[in-house]
Structure 1
Amino acid sequence: MEKNKNMCKNCRYFFVTYNQDFPWGCKAFGFKSKKYPYLEVYSNSGMKCALFNSNIVIRQSLKNKKGRFA
Structure 2
Amino acid sequence: MSKKVFCHGCKYFFITHRIKRPWGCKKFGFISKILPSLEVSMTTGMECAYRIKSNFKNRGLK
TM-score, normalization by structure 1: 0.72
Aligned length: 57
| Matched letter for residue 27 of structure 2 | A
2:4 corresponds to 1:4? yes
2:16 corresponds to 1:20? no
| Matched letter for residue 4 of structure 2 | N
Give unmatched runs, 5+ long, in structure 1: 64-70
Deviations 1:23-42, CA, capped at 9 Å, x for gaps: 00000000000000000000
Higher helix share: 1
Question: Residue 40 of structure 2 corresponds to which residue in structure 1?
Answer: 41
Distance 1:44 1:14 in 2: 18
Give unmatched runs, 5+ long, in structure 2: none
Distance 2:10 2:4 in 1: 12
RMSD (Å) for aligned C-alpha atoms: 1.8
Structure number, greater radius of gyration: 1
Superposed structure 1 runs of 4+ greater than 4 Å apart: none
TM-score, normalization by structure 2: 0.80
Seq. identity, %: 45
